[in-house]
Chain A
Amino acid sequence: MSRFKSRSDFILVGLLRVCAVISALLVSSIIFFLWSETRPVLQTVPLQSFFKNGFWSPSEGQYSLAPMIAASLLTTLIAIGIAGPIGVFAAIFSHLFARGLIRNIYRICIGVLAGIPSVVFGFWGLIQLVPLVNRWHPPGASLLTGSLVLAIMIVPTVALLTEASFASVPRSTLHGAYALGMSRLGLFRSAIFPYCRSGVVTAVLLAAGRAIGETMAMVMVCGNIVQFPDSLFDPVRTLPANIALEMAYATGLHRSALFWSGLLLILIVTGLIVVSQIIPRKLSHENHTIEAKPPL
């Protein structure tokens, strides 16, 4: 479609290109503007002190992000540990067993869960889950509560992305497995998993990216104390939560440090996305596509 029949075509394509370029530029501008706000603190405070074991106390010139990075990583890991298996098995359920009414109920359920705003999860966590955990082991707002809420939030992501990767399984191969009398585990092992290895990994990585960036729910249920957790029941503060809580009144180097944590977040998530795109290429080298081959 690259013939230009008239000048209007030329103008049209030009306009369209501009639109596309704007989208590409957006990422660079985000990084640019974040960087411009971050520079002051990076010029003043040495890089290691952000990551060394220490305190977060900007008024005293302490800028260690370490406890908050730890909190973010821990909540994400625990959430993935819970939501990963549940999401994958739910996707298998939906793809292989669920028929008719049950399938529709499941679809509606997942769809609704996927659309619920994070502030609603946070609100629910605050009002319902925190008191529950509190009765078990005070205080209720803690690493555990945060991880649980995060897990519920990312389950739909894992389930939907995994199920989407099942679409790449050729129907004929699946039927061949049925014709061999395979059990569900057998079906999965022989006909489905070989095609979906990378899809499942991608789903988990993207869900992890979403979990790390989650803000509002974490502000509402984690307890917001900046510390390394000694147990699951310690209150913590994740990196995005920190930004949300302190931006309102931060000035100067403090504000700059918050932008630095924002920049870190986008870098981490970009890293996860890049990895999730490389992995399918590596895994699929073990999977030959069915090509036309010379007879016999």
Chain B
Amino acid sequence: MDKHGLIGKARLCKAGVCLTDDKPMMQIRNLSVRYGSQYAIYNVSADISACSVTAWIGPSGCGKSTFLSCFNRLIDLYPKCKASGSIRWDKDELLDPGINVRNLRTRVGMVFQRPNPFPVSIKKNITLPLKEHGRSQESDETVEKTLREVGLWNEVKDRLNASALSLSGGQQQRLCIARTLALEPDLILFDEPCSALDPLSTQVIEDLIDSLRHRCSVMIVTHNLAQARRVADDIGVFWTVEGGFGQLIEFGKAQQIMEAPRNRQTAAYINGLVG
């Protein structure tokens, strides 16, 4: 067990020491997304490091969810949505229309604002995605492993065949995280994962996000400044600009953003004066 209390393999890091060099894992350049003729976000650029938790903060409506949906190409589901710019991840260009999107989504997982488990049993919620991607050997072990990782195992081990919808909100959200973890992604996207949950569940999930740090990168969109302060390594600040779209007004280390922001808007937002 390493200092984060993790069981199970950590691919990128050993014993809490990050093996990767300082080169950014992901490079976002001039990313813009528009719905029809209206831009949702415009000209966003940033470098994402490996093994980090990046929080995207800002008031509601500045396109943070849209931004997040670019990384697993969920924006493809919205017919009038067009993304331009570049997201380079290792050798791949994520916005390339020729990319195998289904495969991308096994490397990039997503947890949504409201828990959305399938209306089947708890166990099947995890085994179905495994089966889908041809990984159903040792599925029982994976089920136990991932449920332990999200702290659900002891609560549900006696009723794995019960409907997932019979769980509480916090439990459902942890189940959704478990099924994402089962695919062993390199990047997990959290879209305001705790906004529909009570403070106790929120705490559990924040601890969980913290513990994921060395297994994969994490991006979390949140309204909650205190949450960002608690979990993030890097923070990006979004703001709605006059044209009605969102822009990234500042990006940097969490401590720097929270205590000494360079941008005036950021400072105002952090101090609760606006937004």
Contact between A and B in the complex (any CB pair below 8 Å): yes
A residues sitting closer than 8 Å to B (CB atoms) are 99-100, 170, 172-173, 175-183, 186, 189-191, 194-195, 286-290, 293-296
Contacts of B77 in A (CB 8 A): 175, 178
- Contact status of A295 and B201, CB under 8 A, knowing A175-B116, A176-B116: yes
- The contact string, 1 if C-beta is below 8 Å from chain A, for chain B 123-140, is 010001100110000000
A293 adjacent to B118 (CB under 8 Å): no
- Most chain B CB within a 10 A radius of its CB, from A175, A180, A195, A286: A180
Decide if B169 touches A194 in the complex (CB within 8 Å).
no
Q: Which chain B residue has the least Cβ–Cβ distance from A100?
A: B79
Further pairs besides A286-B163, A293-B167: 13, Cβ < 8 Å = A100-B79, A172-B112, A173-B117, A175-B112, A176-B176, A179-B109, A181-B105, A181-B106, A189-B128, A190-B129, A288-B166, A295-B200, A296-B204
Q: Residues of B contacting A177 with CB < 8 Å?
A: 118
Given the contacts A99-B79, A175-B112, A176-B176, A181 and B102 also touching, CB distance less than 8 Å = yes
Instruction: Point out which of B105, B200, B201 has the most chain A C-beta atoms below 10 A from its C-beta.
Output: B105
Cross-chain contact A190 with B165 (CB below 8 angstroms)? no
CB-based nearest A residue for B204: A296
> Please, how many angstroms separate the alpha-carbon atoms of A176 and B175 in the complex?
12
Q: What is the interface of chain B mostly: helix, strand, loop, or mixed?
A: helix
Q: Say yes or no: is B63 at the interface (Cβ < 8 Å to chain A).
A: no
What 8 A-B pairs come out closest when comparing CB atoms? A181-B105, A295-B198, A179-B110, A288-B165, A176-B116, A172-B116, A293-B168, A186-B132
Does B170 sit at the interface, judged by CB under 8 A?
A: yes
Residue in B116, B129, B170, B180 whose Cβ sees the most chain A Cβ within 10 Å: B116
| Contacting residues, chain B, for A170 (C-beta < 8 A) | 116
Set of chain B residues within 8 Å of A287, measured between Cβ atoms: 119, 163, 165
Give chain A nearest CB distance to B119 CB in angstroms: 4
Taking each of B77, B118, B129, which has the highest tally of chain A beta carbons within 10 Å of its own beta carbon?
Answer: B118
Look across to chain B and name the residue whose beta carbon is closest to the beta carbon of A291. B165
Q: How far is the CA of A5 from the CA of B197 in the complex (A)?
A: 46
By beta carbon, the residue of chain B nearest A296 is B170
Interface string of B174-203 (1 = CB under 8 A from A): 001001100100000000000001101100
Please determine whether A190 and B120 come into contact, CB atoms closer than 8 angstroms: yes
Contact status of A172 and B165, CB under 8 A, knowing A181-B102, A194-B119: no
CA distance A170 to B115 in the complex (A): 11
Contact indicator B168/A182 (Cβ below 8 Å): no
- B118 contacts across to A, CB distance below 8 A: 173, 176-177, 190-191, 194
Task: Name the residue of chain A whose CB is nearest to the CB of B183.
Answer: A180
Contacts of A181 in B (CB 8 A): 101-106, 129, 132-133, 183
What's the Cα separation between A175 and B105 when bound, in Å?
12
Q: Is B132's CB under 8 angstroms from A172's CB? A: no
In Å, the complex CA distance between A170 and B117 comes to 11
A-B contact pairs, 30 of them (CB 8 A): A170-B116, A175-B77, A175-B112, A178-B77, A178-B105, A179-B112, A180-B105, A181-B104, A181-B132, A182-B132, A183-B102, A183-B132, A186-B129, A186-B132, A189-B128, A190-B118, A190-B120, A194-B119, A195-B119, A286-B163, A288-B166, A293-B167, A294-B168, A295-B168, A295-B169, A295-B198, A295-B201, A296-B170, A296-B171, A296-B200
